[in-house]
Each structure stands twice: as C-alpha cells, then as structure tokens.
Amino acid sequence: MRFANRVVIVTGAGSGIGRATAVEFAREGAKVIAADVDVESGKQTVMSIKNEGGESSFVHVDMSFFESVQQLVTKTKERYGKLDVMFNNAGVSVKQRCNVLELPHEEYHRIVNINQHGIFFGIQAAGNAMKESGGVIINTASIYAFMADRGAFPYHASKAAVVGMTRSAALDLARYNIRVAGIAPGLVDTGIVAEWKDNPDIWRKIERAHMRGKAGQPGEVAKVVTFLASDDASFMNGHVFCVDDGAAAFKR
C-alpha cells in the first residue's frame, strides 16, 4: 500500500493506460481522481475502482483549456486538502496520416493543444498545488519523441515537447521537493492504436519492431508509473523512461 492516504489525479483515466494506472494506484491505497473528457468512460473507471473496494471520484476535464485543468486540481484540493501525485496522461493521436507539407493546421493544433499544452497546464496547476508539501508529477510521452515515422508530424512534435518540458519542469520544481518524470510507451494495446490492430499485417509489423515481438498491455505500463510516483523512486527525477520492450533501442 505505497500510496495509502495519498491523493492522485490521473488524466485520460477513461481508458487504456490511464484506466489501468488509476486502478493500480487505487489498489495501492490511493484516493484517485479519475479525470477525462469522456464522462461515461471516466465514470466506468471509477466504478471499476469502487468494485474493488478502492476510493475514487470522477472529474470532467478538457486538457486543452487551462481553466478546466485548474478546476480539476482545485476540486481535488477542496475535497481532500492536498494533491500528492499528478499523472498527466491524456493524449490523442493523428486522425489520418499525411505528409507535413499537406498537414491541415487545425489537425496540428488539435494534437498540440492536448498533447503538449495539456501537459504544460497539468504541470503548472499541479505544481502550484504541491508547492508547500511536495509531490510527484508524471508525464506521458512516447517512443516517437525519440524516433520518427511517416505521416505523424504533430504527434511526434508534441511528444518530443513532453520530454523537454519534463526535464525543464523537474529543474524548476526541485526547490519545492516536487519530482517530475515521464514515460515513453512503445506499442501498447489500447484504443488509440485500434486502427492499426484492425489491419493484421500492419499490427504484426509494429509488434515485430519490439524485441519480443508483441504489444504491451496497459497494466504493464501502469506498474512503471506507480513505481516512478512512489518513494521507491525518490532519486529518479527529470528523466523520461522508455516502456517499450526495447523498441527504441535497436535498429530495425
């Protein structure tokens, strides 16, 4: 019960890595605020936690607006009096792959507003809430912050920004005893990659890009997040850790 009496916000908690991590935090004793733009899926996560005897509540959030993120943090502090861990996990992928020269500006802004600006808003709102007592902020990047694939320019740009923001925020917030770290998942079997899974040939090709030739599961990533947020990782700060079965570590 590494998170007994601790208060944790998980954004993007309605599905995938977010849901698995919210459940894992609750299993380890945390009071979990499950935040998502999708009300129904977020409430389903809360129900899953409560069915296991954990404590959780849902708060609607749109990570592309600072006011919404600030309200999420404010509601958490009003309810519990503190915030110990912020997992900035909410993110989106490209709707349709295209060359950067043909990329619609509205698609670029849609992705960057959530994947990049949303992380900044989460860091700032949570950091201010943690200034007096310290805490941990974990951000979700991607292995595509470190490598490129065709047709996904705004996704790569936004996830690379998360790496830089994590390092910079860790340096700025260390004086307040706030640690900031991140994860860079490889292929994880979640809804965000559903279009790939619908095509068996593409799915197998992507799986083979990982050392053991298979996709990760959300629960495997959740274990890494809870470790990084725990006191067991107290000397780990300012880095983004690949959770990718080695996909970013070898030449294809």
Catalytic residues: 155
**Residues near 223 by Cβ (< 8 Å), separated by ≥ 6?**
24
| The token pair that represents 170 in the structure block | 């860790």
Please state, in angstroms and as integers, the Cα–Cα distance from residue 83 to each residue in 1, 9, 137, following that order: 17, 8, 10
| Residues 150, 136: Cα–Cα separation, whole Å | 34
At residue 116, what are phi and psi to the nearest 5 degrees?
Answer: -105, -60
Q: Is-contact 119 104, C-beta < 8 A?
A: no
Cβ–Cβ < 8 Å for 217, 185: no
Q: In whole angstroms, how large is the CA radius of gyration of the chain?
A: 17
CB 136 within 8 A of CB 85: yes
